[in-house]
Structure 1
Amino acid sequence: MIFRSELKFLSIVVLFLSFFELSHAQDFQGKAIYQTKTTMDLGDWGGREMSEQQRKQIMERMKSFLEKTFILNFNKTESIYKEDEKLAAPGSGGGWGGFASSFTGGPQYKNVKNQELLQEQEFFGKRFLIKDELKKLDWKMTSETKQIGQYMCFKAIAIKEVDEFDWRSMRRRNTDEQKKNEKEVDTTNTKTVVEDIEIPKTIEIVAWYTPQIPVNQGPGEYWGLPGLILEVNADKTTILCTKIVLNPAEREDIIVPSKGQEITQEEYNKTIKQKMEEMREMYGGRNRGR
């Protein structure tokens, strides 16, 4: 029995060392496919007045916006994370989804060696290149484990500051108070939809990473753990890796994004604020003129 346990332990050590050696090979590259899903409660946005069929129809129309597939190509120090355009539904940008998609990023490049983040972003027809430093989360690693596919994963937790325009955490402001006053509608109120939205300052992030692929990469803005991050639970959004290919036969170059007006995240947020102020004035003026 002792011999078997020692043999099992040795096998695990050899397995981890082989993956460590693989990830540090000069030409090492990997590809991971992620499914993302963001939940939305229509009841917070007037959906309580709709029939069940109406709610289902709206959620079906928004499915292509709330549920997406992304591809992460990575090596020892770099990664590029972008939506799988082949699976993007045609005509899915209409209506509210079209407006909200203005907040959805293009290809995102991370260089963990240089602490560099680059992201192409289109906002109301104008293309930007957001360039900033990588923000590292203060991960608290735990001993809790679970299996994701063929990989043993460990749990890590962090508190993340939320970007003020992260639509994934948007919620209606003072929802409970508004429910009480539903019958007392002020027809002179010029409050816009934008003013009715709030985003929490911080959220808890739960990530599952595997030391079997010891690169400190992950989907989107998540990175900094001693293994590839395979799952993220962040407020209303879940990101789950469904497929991994190490050293694929057909390799895809990790191309550094370069298109668009170079701008920092802070400057980009100021641009959004200015545009939203213009919209508030435009729609508020229309309401006041009636």
Structure 2
Amino acid sequence: MKSILRVSILIFLISNTSSFAQGFQGKAYYQTKTTFDMKMDSSRVSTEQQDRIKEMMKKRFEKVYELSFNASESIYKEEEQLEQPGKGGFRMMGSFGSGKNYKNTKSKTYAEEQNLMGKQFLVKDSLKVMDWEFQDESKMIGKHLCFKAIATKQVEQNAFSFGRRNRNRSEEEKPKDSLKTIEIVAWYTVDIPVNHGPDEYWGLPGLILEVNADKTQIVCTKIVINPKEKTEIKEPTKGDVVSKKEFEKIRMKKMKEMREVYGGDRRNGGSGRRIMIGG
């Protein structure tokens, strides 16, 4: 059955690709939502305070992105929005941020703008090739028939503590970074035969319209083919150029520094809050 599906997709792509010639361009808009487990190991945090913090975190992870693409290149960036009241309560989260994410599926490279504590970096590296497995399932997303594909990847699970620390806590009790394997479920449409997708996702025989990755969901809400106003799709150049591996080393160092800064009073008997963010 899966082989029949692959052949059907291949035939459709051959007949449909001619209409997506080199001059074509498209835009897709995506809504992202992330749920997370929040563990606060402080008896001093009331239920009301916890609810308020959870709401602020929820707003932090609900965003709208725009993907501009042509036959072989794409730019993925967050749409500019006015700062919502209450978001400033998590300034430490704002110390880390990403800008434009450029992908070139022809050269299999990417360049992503990243900001760490006010310093601009440009992460340039090879695109990660996912081992997609085609499934028999299909569904409609808007007016587009989409097919399912799955893959797995390892992600970092970060524990971030703030508040007062207890110096008597054992090493086993301290927050640690760890890796876990998650399943990626993607839905793509061969109506738009380009191998682009939101965020880091790509490599399927059609535009990816939905991704479910652990606790994060990315869903396409609008598509415009050959918009009147063209977007210049070119690789970003601002920032100190580093590889993915180099950037991760810098980021982990900054995270360690922030844990120390937000550790506050290190006297014995202190308490704190712990946030687990994974996937």
Would you call these one fold, judging by a TM-score over 0.5?
yes
Counterparts in 2 of 1:47 and 1:241: CA distance versus 1, 3 Å: farther
- For residues 204 and 11 of structure 2, the distance between their equivalents in structure 1, rounded to whole angstroms, comes to 21
Over the matched positions of the two proteins, sequence identity in percent amounts to 49
Kept after mapping to 2: 8 A contact 1:190/1:287: no
Q: Does 1:141 align with 2:120?
A: no
Q: Residue 243 of structure 2 aligns to which amino acid in structure 1?
A: T
Q: Which residue of 1 aligns with 2:274?
A: none
Q: Residue 59 of structure 2 aligns to which amino acid in structure 1?
A: S
Kept after mapping to 1: 8 A contact 2:56/2:89: no
Rg: which structure is higher? 1
How far apart are 1:20 and its partner, in Å? Answer: 2.3
Q: Does 1:241 align with 2:227?
A: no
Q: Which residue of 2 aligns with 1:59?
A: 54
How far apart are 1:21 and its partner, in Å? Answer: 2.3
Matched residue of 2:150: which SS? strand
Among 106, 109, 119, the residue aligned to 2:112? 119
Q: Which residue of 2 aligns with 1:69?
A: 64
Q: Residue 77 of structure 1 aligns to which amino acid in structure 2?
A: S
Q: Which residue of 2 aligns with 1:89?
A: 83
Among 202, 212, 223, the residue aligned to 2:202? 223
Q: Which residue of 2 aligns with 1:3?
A: none
More helix by share: 1
How far apart are 1:61 and its partner, in Å? Answer: 2.3
- For residues 27 and 72 of structure 1, the distance between their equivalents in structure 2, rounded to whole angstroms, comes to 17
Q: Which residue of 1 aligns with 2:152?
A: 159
Aligned-residue RMSD, C-alpha = 3.1
Q: Residue 140 of structure 1 aligns to which amino acid in structure 2?
A: E
Counterparts in 2 of 1:287 and 1:13: CA distance versus 1, 3 Å: closer
Counterparts in 2 of 1:17 and 1:187: CA distance versus 1, 3 Å: closer
Q: Which residue of 1 aligns with 2:252?
A: 273
Counterparts in 2 of 1:283 and 1:172: CA distance versus 1, 3 Å: closer
So what's the TM-score if we normalise by structure 2?
0.80
- For residues 75 and 229 of structure 2, the distance between their equivalents in structure 1, rounded to whole angstroms, comes to 16
Q: Deviations over 1:249-284 (max 9, x none)?
A: 111111311100000111111112222333455566
Q: Residue 136 of structure 1 aligns to which amino acid in structure 2?
A: V
Q: Residue 63 of structure 1 aligns to which amino acid in structure 2?
A: K
Counterparts in 2 of 1:112 and 1:21: CA distance versus 1, 3 Å: same
Q: Residue 246 of structure 2 aligns to which amino acid in structure 1?
A: E
- For residues 151 and 281 of structure 1, the distance between their equivalents in structure 2, rounded to whole angstroms, comes to 49
Matched residue of 2:106: which SS? coil
Q: Which runs of 5+ in 2 are unaligned?
A: 1-8, 271-279
Q: Deviations over 1:194-242 (max 9, x none)?
A: 9425443321100000011110000000000000000000011000000
Q: Deviations over 1:53-96 (max 9, x none)?
A: 444432332333110000000010000000001x3535665233
Number of residue equivalences: 256
Counterparts in 2 of 1:231 and 1:283: CA distance versus 1, 3 Å: closer
- For residues 274 and 158 of structure 1, the distance between their equivalents in structure 2, rounded to whole angstroms, comes to 30
Following superposition, which runs of at least 4 residues in structure 1 exceed 6 angstroms of deviation?
Answer: 12-18
Q: Residue 20 of structure 1 aligns to which amino acid in structure 2?
A: T
* Higher relative contact order, chain-length normalized (CA < 8 Å, sep 6+): 2
Q: Does 1:207 align with 2:186?
A: yes
Kept after mapping to 1: 8 A contact 2:12/2:190: no
Q: Deviations over 1:149-179 (max 9, x none)?
A: 00000000001122x3xxxx54689xxxxxx
Q: Which residue of 2 aligns with 1:110?
A: 103
Matched residue of 2:179: which SS? coil
Kept after mapping to 2: 8 A contact 1:117/1:134: yes
Kept after mapping to 1: 8 A contact 2:209/2:219: yes
Q: Deviations over 1:93-119 (max 9, x none)?
A: 5233x3234443211000000111100
Counterparts in 2 of 1:91 and 1:133: CA distance versus 1, 3 Å: farther
